[in-house]
Every structure is written in structure tokens, then in C-alpha cells.
Structure 1
Amino acid sequence: MRPAGSGFVWRPPTSVPHIDEAGISLVTRGGTVESHAPSSPVVNDLDQLQNSLGEGPCLDSIWEEQRIVVDDMGAAQDRWPRYASAAAERGIGSLMSFQLFAERGSAGALNLYSSRSHVFDQGTADVGRLFAAQAALVLHGAQRIQGLHVALESRDVIGQAKGVLMERFGTGQARAFAMLVESSQHTNMKLATVAEWIVTETERKGTGG
């Protein structure tokens, strides 16, 4: 599939056993996540849902972990209370998400969905890694994809800002990220800009400036 005007061509791996839906979540310059090459509108809906809630396995895969496996979406409410319930209601039983680094300045995740729970085995994971590598190579060649490049420095500063908020408010990673998203929306500032301000102010106060 090819997003308009991007030169990005990639086919979701729905032919893999147990995979019913697939897509790529990519970070825009503003720090939000957009769905690319989704196998159906449901995939795009799930990405938008994670953006609005500030929580979800695809977000965690992009920012925190190289691979996330959700064997039973209905039982994942402890980690993603709002997203897990909403995803299960949309027919998602399980999910695998692979972190992508196409090149310096790009961040995203390959997401594989199944309507059934407990269906992913090591073979599925191995195939998923191959498709993730393929997607990363395709991204590497798409130099002019609009809105898909975010500096790795932005990713780092967002992580630092999350740490500041977690320590200051005694909250978890998902809530800290949601607070950043809310601040970005309320101030009409880019997510990375909000994060940089939080980190800079914390450092300034720490040095007595």
C-alpha cells in the first residue's frame, strides 16, 4: 500500500498465519503517531485511539520496548486499562508490535493483530521480525515521506520528560506520556517542544538558575 504522495510502498503481512490485521505506526514531526499502510480502517482507528488515550502497546513499542506481545487483549487492562478494553471491543484478541528504526531520525512500530487470543508462537514472532526488517528497509529508502521523520534527540527528550513527570507526580509511564500529549494539545505546541521545555526547566531549577 502507498500513502498518497509519500513514495512509501509496503504490503501488510496479513498472509502470515493467525494475522488478521496489520499496519505501521509512525511518528510525525509533531510527535503524534499516524497509521500507515493499514490493512483495514480498524488499524487506523486503533492508532488514533492510542493517540487520544496516551496509552497502548504500539506507543510503548515505539518509545520503550523493541517487541511487545499481548497474548490476550482482554486480560491486558492492568497495563493499558482504557486501550485494552476498547481494542477487545473492536475484535482484537492478541497483538505483536515491533519497534522500527529505519534510519537516524525515524521512529515507529510494525503492529500485527489477531482476532483470537494466545495464537502467537515463536514461529510467528520470527516471521514478524522479518517483516519488521523489511518495513524498516522500505522506510530507509523513502527519504521524502512527509511527516514521518522525528529526530532521535526528540525521542530521547520525550523519554527524559516522562521520567521527570513520573518522579514528580508518582505516576506510571503511560500516564506520564498522556500528560505530555495533553499538554501538547492544550498549548498547541509540538510534543517534543513541550518535553524539551519540561527537561530544560527541571535542569534550570536543579542548578539554581
Structure 2
Amino acid sequence: MSDDLRETRVLSAVVSLVDSLLDDFDVVDLLTELTERCAELLDVASAGFLLADPLHQLHLMAATSERTRDIELFQLQAEQGPCIDCYRSGEPVLVADLGAQIDRWPRFVPAATQAGFAAVHAVPMRGAGVVLGALGLFDTQPGELTEADRLVAQTLAHIACVAVLQEHPPTLATVVSPLRSALTGRVVVEQAKGFISEVLGVSMDQAFRLIRSHSRSRGEHLTDVARRLMRDRHTRPELVRALTELARGQGQQ
């Protein structure tokens, strides 16, 4: 890809995402789109966002695939890996060859390589002078991030912070409420994914795409649709029927 074409694609992505911030947006949906843009613009296999709660416990907010989701969750369970170190240090952690880091992360490296990943990079999400989380970039081939790649990744991480904190000016006193709101929304989305996966007999990835497609086609927030699925018994049957029809239309049933 030429430098001019790459610059155009990056600027187009940033403009599109900032436009979303200026409109009524759903933070979980936007962070998911950010992971997709990361994978596309940085030419890596996948990406994921980890966000810390007020007690400094990290939670998965978005990922481009279930494989990425699983390895991010493994990092949290094992309490080791590039994203964990990035959050703790507040500095980028760039790992071009994961296999060479077995001594550093003896549990994470075998799990990540078994999942097919050969390189992992992480950049911090900062707001209000504190580290709010980490953006993880996963690739199936060993390789470095260029300076341009690092700048793009950090820019997208900054946009993620703005998305999470936009409800209030980013001060230490005001980050707690939007952080809790974002994390709660992600939990509801995960519950809805599991419910639709079981009811329709589709994968978790497919279930998420169905819920997301339905919400976007109707101009609804992703988390609002998820809450209706999990908490509104009156509208749930109609919503399940709509998702079933959508799955059939996409050839997923």
C-alpha cells in the first residue's frame, strides 16, 4: 500500500469515528468498530480493548473475533501478557516474536501461540492523567510495528478514551461513572450474545454480528437491543424472530 493511500485510509477512518462521537452513539458498538479499524489499518489479524474498572480490574470491552476474545480473557485470568504489562506500566509493549518471550510470560505465550498468534502489541488508553486500559493488536505472523503504525494505534486508543469519557470532562472525579456505564453495557451485550448463540444455534461471533446488524438497521443502540433481549420478556419473542429471519437471510441458519 502506498503512503498516500494509507494516509487517506487512516484519515478517513479517524473522520468517520470522530463523526460518530459527535452523534448519539453506543460505546460498545463504537469500540468494536475501533478494533475492526485497527486490524484493517495496521494490517494485523485482530485487535481487542481492555478497560479498567474503578478498582483497577481489567475487563474485555471489544474484540474483532472470539479467538481474540478468548486470548484476551486468558491474559486476565493468567494475570500476564502484553496488555497486562502495558496497563500496569502505562507504556507500549511491542512483541514482534511472541515465541521469544516464553520466560517473560510462561502461561500466556503457549496459549497465544496455540491460538495461532505470533506477534502481540499493546498501547495504553489514557485519560485524566491515568491509564484506563489497553489496546491489544494480535497478528499471526511475526513482525514489528513501524513508527507510523504505533502512531495510528495510539490515535485509535485516544479515540476510544474519548468515547468512554465523553459524558463528562475527563477528570479523576468524573471518570468513574462513564467507566461503570461502559463496563455494564459490555456485560449485557455478552449475555445477549450467549442467549442468541444458544437459541439460534450459531457461534458467538455470528450471534454478535446478528445483534449488531439488527441494531444498526433500526438505528438503535447495541446495548439497548441487548437489554431488551435479556430484560424485556414482552418484546423478546419478537426480537428473537427478527434475528432468526436476519440469520436466515445471511445464510447462517
TM range (shorter): 0.5 to 0.7
The equivalent residue for 1:96 is: 121
Q: Partners in 1 of 2:88 and 2:132 — Cα distance? A: 8
**Offset at 1:147?**
6.3
Q: In the superposition, relative to structure 1, how do residues 105 and 61 fare at CA in structure 2: closer, same or farther (>3 Å)? A: closer
Q: Greater share of helix residues, 1 or 2? A: 2
For residue 32 of structure 1, the aligned residue among 18, 35, 57 is: 57
Q: Partners in 1 of 2:92 and 2:129 — Cα distance? A: 19
CA RMSD of aligned residues (A): 2.4
Q: In the superposition, relative to structure 1, how do residues 17 and 104 fare at CA in structure 2: closer, same or farther (>3 Å)? A: closer
Gaps of 5+ in 2: 1-25, 168-176, 184-253
The equivalent residue for 2:180 is: 146
User: Match of 2:121, SS?
Assistant: strand
Pair 1:60 & 2:60 matched: no
For residue 21 of structure 1, the aligned residue among 14, 22, 46 is: 46
Structure exhibiting the larger radius of gyration computed from Cα positions: 2
Counterpart mapping for 1:130-209 below 5 A: 130-141=155-166, 144-146=178-180
**Does the 8 Å contact 2:94/2:144 carry over to 1?**
no
Q: Partners in 2 of 1:134 and 1:47 — Cα distance? A: 20
The equivalent residue for 2:218 is: none
Gaps of 5+ in 1: 1-5, 150-209
The equivalent residue for 1:160 is: none
User: Match of 1:125, SS?
Assistant: helix
Q: Partners in 2 of 1:17 and 1:54 — Cα distance? A: 26
User: Match of 1:101, SS?
Assistant: strand
Q: Partners in 2 of 1:105 and 1:74 — Cα distance? A: 31
User: Match of 2:85, SS?
Assistant: helix
Q: Partners in 1 of 2:107 and 2:182 — Cα distance? A: 27
Determine which structure has greater relative contact order: mean sequence separation of CA pairs < 8 Å that are 6+ residues apart, divided by chain length.
1
**Does the 8 Å contact 1:94/1:114 carry over to 2?**
yes
**Offset at 1:103?**
3.3
Identity over aligned pairs, percent? 21
The equivalent residue for 2:68 is: 43
The equivalent residue for 2:98 is: 73
What TM-score, normalized by structure 1, do the two folds share?
0.61
**Does the 8 Å contact 2:54/2:179 carry over to 1?**
no
